[in-house]
Amino acid sequence: MTEPQSFSVISYQKHENHFNDHISGGAKSNIAKTWFNKDTVDAWRHDRIRRVLMPLLNYFPESNWLTVGDGRYGTDAHFLKENGINALATDISDVLLKEGKELGFIDDFAKENAEKLSFGNDQFDFVYCKEAYHHFPRPIIALHEMIRVAKIGVVLTEPKDPEISSNFIKIFFRNLNSFVKEFLGKKGSTSHNFEVVGNYVYTISEREIEKVALGINLQYVAFKVMYDHYIPGVEFEQSISSNKVFQKVKSRIALLEILDRLGLNNRGLLTAVIFKEPPSEKLQTSLNSAGFKLVKLPKNPYL
């Protein structure tokens, strides 16, 4: 059996090499080039997810951000740049980040291992990690590193853990879904999943984030759940109303949202904000208006 320390090194190497096929002239460069486009269904999906940041960007227009796991040319940093925010893009692989900077897509980048960031304490106002946290072999270490280098807060957007729920109906339908998949002989587990690059898909939950904050004496966190749907090939489909693929993606998202309101769905993407500084009442109002649930955690009575 591979030792944990050895596996983390293997994982770093595999992820560092992941984008090598995506560089110009590489086997997957045709897909990679679509990440620059703004008029595709895939671009619409990711822009929709990133817009969850707008309450923070509007309230802190002069803030500086660090993006973690942003190896797709720095698309997250590019979104921040488009909204007037200074951002440094980082990833364990910098092959596409170099191209992104050369093309003016991002302003700057750094090659960084999320589990051992080279930056100083409180160096950035915010750290943003979108759909990369679940790739890390030791994600809690990475989260504490992100909290360390952030002055105001850390924002994670990751797959929500569907196994954690106190809702009986959601538990029933989750188990029914698992039973049906097993009955139909579908491969893979519904509760534990792995990706081709070799990582375990580390989903997150509100409870888990609250415990991380409480463990280091932080008092405020905020959560927002949203839904997304991926169809292979959306990278090449235009986000126009007449496009059937676009219609299918939006219809699927709408269905997932309805199921959530009915208490029948416990999946989706969870955006979690861990605040190092208490948010002002104005910011709290803005977050609530944008659909966030703000949680004030109990104080440690022994400190």
Here the tokens at position 164 are 């954690």
pLDDT tens-place string over residues 165-196: 655 555 555 555 555 555 566 554 467 889 99
Mean pLDDT of 200-215: 96
Q: What's the whole-number average pLDDT of the chain?
A: 92
- Rounded-to-10 torsion of CA 69, 194, 53, 232: 100
Choice between 174 and 81, residue whose per-residue pLDDT is larger: 81
Report pLDDT for 267: 87
Mean pLDDT of 198-208: 94
Residue 125 forms part of a structural domain: yes
Residue 218 forms part of a structural domain: yes
3-state secondary structure (DSSP) of residue 60: coil
| Confidence (pTM) | 0.91
pLDDT grade, residue 163 (50/70/90)?
A: confident
Q: Give the domain CATH number at 148.
A: 3.40.50.150
Report pLDDT for 6: 86
Residue 134 forms part of a structural domain: yes
Report pLDDT for 25: 86
Residue 267 forms part of a structural domain: yes
pLDDT grade, residue 223 (50/70/90)?
A: very high
- What residues make up the domain containing 45? 4-160+193-296
In total, how many domains does the chain have?
1
Q: CA-to-CA distance for 287 and 303, rounded, in angstroms?
A: 29
Consecutive H or E run containing 270: strand 269-275
